[in-house]
Every structure is written in structure tokens, then in C-alpha cells.
Amino acid sequence: MLSKLWNDLKSSPVNTIAKWQDARFLWLLMAFVSIALIIVAHTIFQHYVHMAPCEQCVYIRFAFFCMFFGGLITAINPKKIILKIIGYALGFWGIIQGIGYSVKLNAIHHAVHSDDPFGVQGCSAEPSFPFGLPLDKWFPDWFKPTGDCGYDNPIVPDGTELSSLQQWLVDFYSDGWYLIPSHHFINMAQACLFAYIVCLVLLGAMLVCWLIELIKNRKVN
């Protein structure tokens, strides 16, 4: 099965990718990856490791939620053009918003760790979501910022008893969230930015291939 898919991709990449995005798999994959990242951030890092989300962090969550809903809506029937347009619109909008939030958070992270007093703007305890959505009031546990931008190290409440695994994770991320904490390699904002860029490339390839095949088929007909 995999060898056939690979051979199809090599022989006719545009047509093959266009067919893939007509199926549910890629859209469900986008939805799954987006919601999985949100759940990991909320359940593991926020609650289990006690990393409080900042304003830009909850905006990044909102952007991933847009991608999640885009994938989920299109997966209802990917062959329906209107559903596919909604999926692409939500997907690209979430990605573009997410890139902006990640870049801003990375700049703030760099500023607060380099004693730059001019780079710490853009962090508030009162978020302003697109379209005026009061998500921080509707779902405060998910969208209310309780931490400071650029400082993502664990803050364990007084009197909290930690399991051995929790204590290990708290110590592991004591200097903040990094892909490789011991070397301060790739902070959380940079990791999110990388994820959004990968999604942008993949979703962009899907859209381009779909449009090429759509135009080709209309010319034939």
C-alpha cells in the first residue's frame, strides 16, 4: 500500500496530492495534530508541570484551534468545494495568525532574557481575541493568561505535592521550555513557529495541487 502511494507520488505528484486532499485523511491529520498540541500544552505543561500560559501563548492556542476546526469541517466531506474552502480559509488564517504570535513571543522571550527594556511590550493579563471573542471568560482554564511572556519556567504553587515524574519534569524545565533544555536550544515560541511553517508549506502544496487539477479538468471539459 505504502509503496503504491509512493510510486503514485513520484510519477504524478500534483495529481496524487490533489487526490489526497479530496480524502478525509489529510484533513483529519491537520485536525488531530492541532488539537494534540493544544491538549499537550494545556494538560501536561500547564497543569502537570505548572507552566502558566502567557497572553501570546493563549493566542497561539486559538490559532491551532482555528486549524483544528478547519480540518474537522472539511473532513465532513472533502469533495464539497464549500467545505474545502472553509477548511483552507481557517487553516491558512490560523497558520498566519500563529506565525505572527510566535514571532512576537520569540521577540519578547529574547528581550526578557537579554535585559532589553524595549522588547517586552505586548504581554497583558487581559487578552483581546479576534472578533472580540471573550474566550478567556468562556473558557478561562484554556484561554486566560496567568503567566508572563518570555518566562515559561514551572511555578509550583505552595503546598503542592509532586509525584517523582512531576518533580523530574519541573527540574528538567527549570530554566524554561526548550526542545533541549540543557543547551537552551529552540524555545517554545521557536518550536511553535517551526510547526506553523511546516503546516504552511504542506497546506500550501495541497492548495496549489488542487487548483492546478481543478483548472486542468475545467479546460478538458
Tell me the per-residue pLDDT of 167-200, one tens digit each, with 9 for 90 and over.
Answer: 999 999 999 999 999 899 999 999 999 999 999 9
Express each pLDDT in 60-109 by its tens digit: 999 999 999 999 999 999 999 999 999 999 999 999 999 999 999 999 98
pLDDT-derived band at 2, boundaries 50, 70, 90:
very low
Residue type, 178: Y
Q: Per residue in 135-152, pLDDT tens?
A: 999 999 999 999 988 888
User: 6 pLDDT exceeds 90?
Assistant: no
Residue 113 binned pLDDT confidence (cut-offs 50, 70, 90):
confident
pLDDT at 1: 47
Report the C-alpha gap between 62 and 135 in whole angstroms.
9
CA distance 83 to 73: 6
pLDDT score for 220: 61
Q: What is the rounded CA–CA span in Å between residue 105 and residue 101? A: 6
Q: For each of the domains in the chain, give its residue range(s) and CATH number, in order of start.
A: 14-145+161-220 (1.20.1550.10)
* Segment 126-132 mean pLDDT: 91
Backbone angles phi, psi at 178, to 5 degrees: -135, 150
Enter the pTM of the model.
0.90
Residue closest to 95 by CA, chosen among 152, 20, 37, 157: 37
